[in-house]
Structure 1
């Protein structure tokens, strides 16, 4: 499928008007005399012309790719630590504890009492404002990691996965049950 001003070239030969080779995703727009980035739609291993999150942040050398992988790895570790850190803060700052009991019919006609414990914070409290700020940071970081993975660059994808794995290993080992309702795209 071809866009009127975009050309995609799949083999390693060069055509007039097209810049790049196999693995690159730079194209030349003859109508405007500028280069446009095409989004890669399959996984690949490469380090040339890899646009990372922002238009001006383009990887072109092996050293830049190593640096980007380290940065992405650390961001994924941070994300996992942030999730656990928010949970720890929430447990420390639990203010409102309510017990709600209700009768539930038992198996043989008896009546059992089921009790639910509701734990929360005051809405207008420093702890809740901090949780709200950290939630925003967590959402933004999770979407950054998702967008990095969507570059389809194998090196960057591996960095995200390994960083998330190390972060989980470092920060989640005390958790008995892993149920995370705050999990976002990842």
Structure 2
């Protein structure tokens, strides 16, 4: 029994295709950007950042960037998606503050100086599970999660133009929407 072709057969077992070049990976030649495509029609995912605007798949197999104008359009779209994501985060926080119901004030005794007892008042805020605000929050949360994963997948294309669009959009969105955000600092926090 001849085992000289055994290594080649292991590679072919992983690929069920009739293409004779399917098991061969051809390196891209200098100066030619194939967008991570290897011989035989198989796509290799890039694992390094690159500046390119030809044959760049964006989220869906049918959405392929092949020109500078398409990349500019994709840059603007991704930038606006990142701005939307930051705005959505702040909008959800604002809606949550407005929809809080059943505010209660609880007083509890705490030990004071020289054996005295002081009354300390705490504000408790709650929200009902089956309510229009909570259902709206749930819907907005789903949208926020989907948009965040889209942005992550765009970044994972390793296309530097698209990565810059994600970062610039997130920064712009934060700048535009987060300046009104209330920051609560817990003075009892011990982990810095």
1:46 to 49, 52, 58: 52
Identify the residue that residue 93 of structure 1 maps to in structure 2: 99
DSSP 3-state at the match of 2:180: coil
2: CA distance, partners of 1:50 / 1:178: 43
- Retained in 1: the 8 A contact 2:107–2:120? yes
Q: Rg larger in 1 or in 2?
A: 2
Distance 1:109 1:7 in 2: 81
Instruction: Name the Cα RMSD after superposition.
Output: 2.7
Distance 1:104 1:38, change over 3 A: farther
Question: Which of 21, 25, 35 in structure 2 is aligned with 1:7?
Answer: 25
TM superposition shift of 1:49 = 1.1
SS of the residue aligned with 2:103? strand
Uncovered stretches (5+) of structure 1, i.e. residues with no partner: 14-20, 30-34, 180-186
Give the structure-1-normalised TM-score: 0.76
For 2:120 and 2:153, how far apart are their aligned partners in 1?
A: 44
Structure 2 length as normaliser, TM-score?
0.74
Q: In 2, distance between residues paired with 1:64 and 1:178?
A: 43
2:112, 2:118 within 8 Å by CA — same for their partners in 1? Answer: yes
- Aligned equivalent of 2:128: 122
**Unaligned 5+ runs, structure 2:** 1-9, 12-22, 186-192
Structure having the higher helix fraction is 2
